[in-house]
Structure 1
Amino acid sequence: PPAPPAPASAPPPAGTLDPVALDEALTTLPGPRVVAATAGTTDAGLIDPLPEIAALCRAHHTRLHIDAAYGGGLLFSDRHRTKLTGLDAAHTITLDLHKLGWQPIAAGLLAVKHPRDLAALDQRADYLNADDDTEAGLPDLLGRSLRTTRRPDALKIAVTLKTLGRTGLGALVDQVCEHAHTLATLIDDHPAFELHDRPTISTVLFRPAGTTDDAVAAVRRTLLTHGRAVLGRARLDGRLWLKATLLNPHTRPDDLAGLLKLVEGTTPR
């Protein structure tokens, strides 16, 4: 096969897939192979270097799957969609529109480039997909999902897209991403807090400065059990961080400042 393109010279952010290590693995591992890249990690909302990964997969004749459950909604935004450059090279993509799509929690999607990739779901049962019913135009979903009794969440997705369109959804995405940057700035400017990094999407990791991991965990549990705030947790760089994932477009700067005040007031002195 032709030599793969040289990976980007700058090392990828910690927590993302390293193209150099991927190139080495694809060179040595026998096929068939599939690479699973991520566009929006659960812990920090990071995006793997998709163009470099896609180029390596093409050079090594390897299938590419991209988990865009979190970050896929960036496609709606003209401002942020370039972060997903390379997504179109994937053979399959997962999307979870209960995040940056504001849908019910079960509204997950598997997008495939070629219909033949759905062949694994092709099941036959006469009482569900009789040939004469299919020929008569009655819908049959058995070949698209094994969950024959799942709720019709696709209808809610369709109604949302019809009502708001890409422009309307893109505006919501822009708002929550802006909220995340506002929160990150508030944290960075506050001497009582430490910011992990600027947000890639709408997830912000932070922790009270000068505290232990046990204290960070205790702050989160206290806020949760007292019904004051719900924060996630993530362990990166060997330390525990509080995780705020901004998904409400109506969040105000005062709400963000109030959250930090709650965390500061709960932190042991």
Structure 2
Amino acid sequence: MFTDRRDLLQGLDQADSIALDLHKFGWQPIAAGLFACRDAEDLRVIDTSADYLNADDDTEAGLPDLLGRSLRTSRRPDAVKIAATMRALGRRGLGALVDACCATAQGVADAVEANPDLELWGRPTLSTVVFRPKADCDVAALRRTLLDEGRAVLGRARFDGLWLKLTLLHPHATPADYQPLLDLVVKAAR
């Protein structure tokens, strides 16, 4: 979509529909997203009618069909924010931000692998780094302690046990900016 990392988008051209959550890799409000169908007929499953919102006689008289524009009717106009971002940055500009976050995640993953006290779950595909201390410790308690002390906010993921999760979305941050956080996790695990 925005990035030139086409290897991650293989098969997308075969999809009947695409949903994009632009909250993270679009830097948009949490409710902002897009849903597109190859065939507009597929959207009929979400057609709804409410006489007070889209009465046939009002629509025929030229009044807007609020349900025909959005399922959320009078909610915030998040689509305007998406449009403004796209207008300001363009596909290439937004793609550069995504690519920068993904590159930072690779650098942070390198730092985790280089640290003998940390374990990397796997190489990041996008901008999420999943790791944990090698020390025998309660990862959930470690995470809560750092949060309670106001020192770090770390996500969590469960695979073969509990792991810490960093979703890196600051396009101007560098792997070096995350080194103090990795050091903090190691120190807290001891």
TM-score (norm: length of structure 1): 0.66
Rounded to whole Å, the distance in 2 between the matches of 1:210 and 1:241 is 12
- Give the counterpart letter for 2:26 in structure 1: G
User: 1:241 is matched with which residue?
Assistant: 163
**1:138: how far off?**
4.7
- Give the counterpart letter for 1:249 in structure 2: P
Unaligned runs of 5+ in 1: 1-74
Q: Which one of 80, 89, 114 corresponds to residue 155 of structure 1?
A: 80
Deviation per residue, 1:41-84 (Å, 9 max, x gap): xxxxxxxxxxxxxxxxxxxxxxxxxxxxxxxxxx2011x13311
Rounded to whole Å, the distance in 1 between the matches of 2:59 and 2:134 is 63
User: 1:254 is matched with which residue?
Assistant: 176
Q: 1:122 touches 1:144 (CA, 8 Å); kept in 2?
A: no
**1:265: how far off?**
1.7
Rounded to whole Å, the distance in 2 between the matches of 1:155 and 1:137 is 23
Q: 2:3 touches 2:96 (CA, 8 Å); kept in 1?
A: yes
User: 1:77 is matched with which residue?
Assistant: 3
**1:140: how far off?**
2.5
Q: Which moved more, 1:182-191 or 1:111-120?
A: 111-120
User: 2:38 is matched with which residue?
Assistant: 113
- Give the counterpart letter for 1:251 in structure 2: A
Rounded to whole Å, the distance in 1 between the matches of 2:167 and 2:21 is 15
Kindly tell me the number of residue pairs found equivalent between the two proteins. 190
Unaligned runs of 5+ in 2: none
> 3-state SS of the aligned residue for 2:50?
coil
- Give 1 or 2: higher helix fraction: 2
User: 1:59 is matched with which residue?
Assistant: none
Deviation per residue, 1:87-126 (Å, 9 max, x gap): 1211222211001111001102222111111112222334
User: 2:24 is matched with which residue?
Assistant: 99
- Give the counterpart letter for 1:258 in structure 2: P
Q: Which moved more, 1:189-198 or 1:117-126?
A: 117-126
Q: Which one of 161, 182, 196 corresponds to residue 107 of structure 2?
A: 182
User: 1:232 is matched with which residue?
Assistant: 155
- Give the counterpart letter for 1:239 in structure 2: G
Per the alignment, do residues 88 and 136 of structure 1 end up closer, same or farther by CA in structure 2, a change over 3 Å counting? farther
Q: 1:195 touches 1:206 (CA, 8 Å); kept in 2?
A: yes
**1:227: how far off?**
1.4
Deviation per residue, 1:129-176 (Å, 9 max, x gap): 244554565542413543223211011001111110001100100110
User: 2:186 is matched with which residue?
Assistant: 264
